[in-house]
């Protein structure tokens, strides 16, 4: 079997039928669909079982809730395909997604195939997002030259897609890297798996074909703010430092930029959400974790004025000043939008 499609499922009843149907209608049929019910308290478990009864390609795993990472780990332990394609339960894929992956793998034997994705919001497909790397096959030396410098963050605060979803990855490459991710992490969990896969891959194909439909949700994990995200990113950094594999020459510099970039993004989310009451905890966590060491070392070049100013304050641990600067920027943007 060529593909194992793994779908972690938790509280996505509204989206799940669309997700599953998008897999079962694939034009390329050599696949298994593994639905991992992560203790979902809604109608998802019954829906999964109903699909399994109707289609022999569908396998269902029911487990206690343990989070996204543990669900993916449960899925890959049961996977039998040569390649794994991860798909989130609130998203969907184009009907030719696996065919596109098959054709690339057939022609290149790539260890990892990364696709573009398209935004799906309010029932409408919108903007297509392309990765930074140009389309084509990258051998090891080319991966080191063109992909390694953007694994975490380059000097322009840009990076390749961290997402685990939307990629066909050789199971033998993905297996240990997926199982090594800390199940407690809910921010940076994809990066913790994808980065070592890129570092170990001998061949990578970067495709500009958009086969993944990413659903915009206001209630998703990725759009919520929690001060624990600061310590989770610190845990991700500790995990990256412990990787017992060859790393890029500028990996330490990238870690410093990643630390600063993520702390800036978390602070911006807090400011835009008006979470001023969380400021003392934000400051405490940034000063008591690896971020205190890493953030001041980060060096950037071509940033927006907003990012430059915010990071200037952040790197000097004027966190309150950075917060209110970002808060004012949000208010000005809202005001100007109304004026139009």
Domain identity same for 191 and 243: no
pLDDT at residue 332 tops 80: yes
Domain identity same for 258 and 125: no
pLDDT attached to residue 224: 65
Domain identity same for 71 and 129: yes
As a whole number, the mean pLDDT across the chain is: 95
pLDDT attached to residue 306: 94
The DSSP call for residue 144 is I
Q: What is the mean pLDDT of the segment spanning 232-258?
A: 93
Cβ pair 74, 80 in contact under 8 A:
no
Residue spans of beta strands (DSSP E) within the chain: 3-9, 31-38, 58-63, 83-86, 92-93, 112-121, 124-129, 136-139, 167-170, 203-215
Q: What is the mean pLDDT of the segment spanning 33-47?
A: 98
Long-range contacts of 284-293 (CB under 8 A, 24+ apart): 285/227, 285/230, 285/231, 286/230, 286/317, 286/319, 287/317, 289/230, 289/231, 289/234, 290/234, 290/237, 290/238, 290/259, 291/230, 291/233, 291/234, 291/259, 291/260, 291/263, 292/317
Domain identity same for 206 and 237: no
Max Cα distance, the chain (Å): 59
Mind listing the pLDDT tens digit for each residue in 96-139? 999 999 999 999 999 999 999 999 999 899 999 999 999 999 99
Domain of 172, CATH number, reads 3.90.550.10
Instruction: Give burial (CB, 10 Å; 0-12/13-18/19+) of 339.
Output: exposed
Mind listing the pLDDT tens digit for each residue in 304-329? 999 999 999 999 999 999 999 999 99
Domain boundary among 207, 222, 237: 222
Domain identity same for 209 and 282: no
pLDDT at residue 76 tops 90: yes
Domain identity same for 229 and 218: no
Domain identity same for 189 and 235: no
Domain identity same for 207 and 334: no
Domain identity same for 142 and 248: no
Domain identity same for 252 and 139: no
Domain identity same for 69 and 206: yes
Domain boundary among 182, 198, 222: 222
Give the whole-angstrom CA distance, residue 22 versus residue 166. Answer: 13
pLDDT at residue 222 tops 60: no
Domain identity same for 206 and 248: no
pLDDT attached to residue 219: 61
What spatial distance separates the first Cα and last Cα of the chain, rounded to whole Å?
55
pLDDT at residue 339 tops 80: no
Cβ pair 51, 77 in contact under 8 A:
no
What is the DSSP track for 183-195?
TT--SSHHHHHHH
Domain boundary among 222, 246, 262: 222
Which residue segment(s) compose the domain that 299 sits in?
225-339
Name the domain count of the chain: 2
């Amino acid at each position: 079997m060529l593909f194992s499609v793994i779908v972690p499922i938790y509280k996505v009843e509204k989206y799940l039928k669309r997700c599953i149907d998008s897999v079962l209608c694939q034009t390329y049929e050599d696949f298994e669909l593994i639905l991992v019910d992560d203790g979902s308290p809604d109608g998802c478990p019954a829906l999964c079982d109903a699909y399994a009864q109707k289609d022999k390609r569908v396998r269902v795993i029911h487990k206690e809730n343990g989070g996204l990472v543990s669900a993916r780990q449960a899925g890959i332990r049961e996977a039998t395909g040569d390649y794994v394609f991860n798909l989130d339960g609130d998203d969907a894929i184009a009907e030719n997604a696996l065919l596109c992956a098959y054709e690339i793998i057939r022609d290149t034997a790539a260890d990892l195939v990364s696709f573009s994705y398209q935004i799906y919001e309010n029932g409408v497909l919108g903007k297509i997002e392309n990765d930074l790397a140009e389309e084509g096959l990258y051998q090891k030396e080319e991966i080191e030259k063109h992909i390694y410098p953007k694994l975490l963050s380059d000097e322009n605060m840009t990076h390749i897609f961290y997402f685990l979803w939307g990629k066909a990855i050789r199971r033998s490459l993905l297996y240990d890297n997926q199982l090594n991710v800390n199940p407690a992490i809910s921010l940076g969990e994809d990066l913790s798996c994808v980065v070592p896969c890129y570092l170990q891959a001998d061949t990578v194909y970067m495709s500009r074909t958009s086969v993944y439909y990413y659903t915009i949700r206001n209630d998703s994990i990725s759009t919520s703010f929690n001060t624990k995200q600061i310590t989770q990113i610190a845990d991700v950094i500790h995990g990256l430092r412990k990787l017992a594999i060859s790393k890029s020459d500028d990996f330490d510099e990238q870690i410093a930029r990643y630390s600063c970039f993520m702390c800036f993004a978390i602070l911006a989310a807090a400011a835009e959400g008006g979470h001023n009451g969380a400021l003392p905890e934000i400051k405490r966590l940034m000063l008591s974790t690896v971020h205190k060491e890493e953030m001041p070392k980060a060096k950037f070049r071509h940033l927006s004025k907003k990012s430059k100013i915010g990071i200037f304050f952040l790197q000097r641990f004027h966190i309150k000043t950075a917060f209110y600067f970002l808060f004012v920027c949000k208010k000005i943007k809202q005001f100007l939008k109304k004026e139009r």
